[in-house]
Amino acid sequence: MKKILLAALILLITTSTLFAATTDNFIVTTVVGNVDLMTVSTTEYTGTTVDTFGKLTPFTKLVITSGGTQTVNAWLSTLSNNRDGFSVSMMASAMKSSVAGNENAYINYTVSCNTVSVTTKDGSVVSSTKPVVAYPSLSKVTSTSNKIDLTVDQDSFDKALSGSYTGTVTFVYTAN
């Protein structure tokens, strides 16, 4: 009986070493670059991918025909995966008309986005005192889309000299 038990034990040890499990592995890696995108778009953006962001139609020009509140179908849209966050500031210059031999003429306006407004002042470029959008850090891919509003100063529009006028609203995206 002892011989059978000893033989069974030797068979068990030999069998377990013959069929011992082996392992192997491989490593999976990638590098995800920063996505820091911004555009002034003709529609509100609600997506979270570079592909859908790239399909936004840029808003490039607002034609003014009167003073007062304007109809602006434009949104400041952003998309970011930057862990360190980002901010967007705004600046604007008055609409200016330049005619050789004459002083420049200006039409002032107020542009607003999110909770920030900038009111132009003739020949100066006026910057927002606080960011239009600010994220000190991100824990997930983040998109924003904020409606842009614009009101033309009625008095400066009514007193404007003849000519073509052009002003610029600029948004500056800064990655943290």
* Number of domains composing the chain: 1
Report the pLDDT value the prediction gives residue 18, as an integer from 0 to 100: 58
Q: Is residue 1 part of a domain?
A: no
Q: Is residue 10 part of a domain?
A: no
CB 169 within 8 A of CB 111: yes
CB 67 within 8 A of CB 152: yes
| Residue appearing with tokens 């470029």 | 125
Q: Is residue 12 part of a domain?
A: no
User: Residue 131 and residue 96: Cα distance in Å, rounded?
Assistant: 25
Report the pLDDT value the prediction gives residue 5, as an integer from 0 to 100: 55
User: Residue 168 and residue 170: Cα distance in Å, rounded?
Assistant: 6
Query: Any idea of the CA torsion for 116, 122, 124, 129, to the nearest 10 degrees?
Result: -20
Report the pLDDT value the prediction gives residue 99, as an integer from 0 to 100: 85
Report the pLDDT value the prediction gives residue 19, as an integer from 0 to 100: 62
* The two three-digit tokens of residue 122, written as one number: 């003739």
Structural domain range at position 136: 33-175
Q: Is residue 40 part of a domain?
A: yes
Report the pLDDT value the prediction gives residue 12, as an integer from 0 to 100: 55
Q: Is residue 25 part of a domain?
A: no
pLDDT tens digits for the chain (176 residues)?
566 655 555 655 655 555 678 899 999 999 999 999 999 999 999 999 999 999 999 999 999 999 999 999 999 999 999 999 999 999 999 999 998 888 999 999 999 999 999 999 998 999 999 999 999 999 999 999 999 999 999 999 999 999 999 999 999 999 99
Residue 82: CB atoms within 10 A of its CB come to 17
Which is nearest to 53 in space by CA: 78, 29, 33?
78
Q: Is residue 85 part of a domain?
A: yes
Report the pLDDT value the prediction gives residue 102, as an integer from 0 to 100: 86
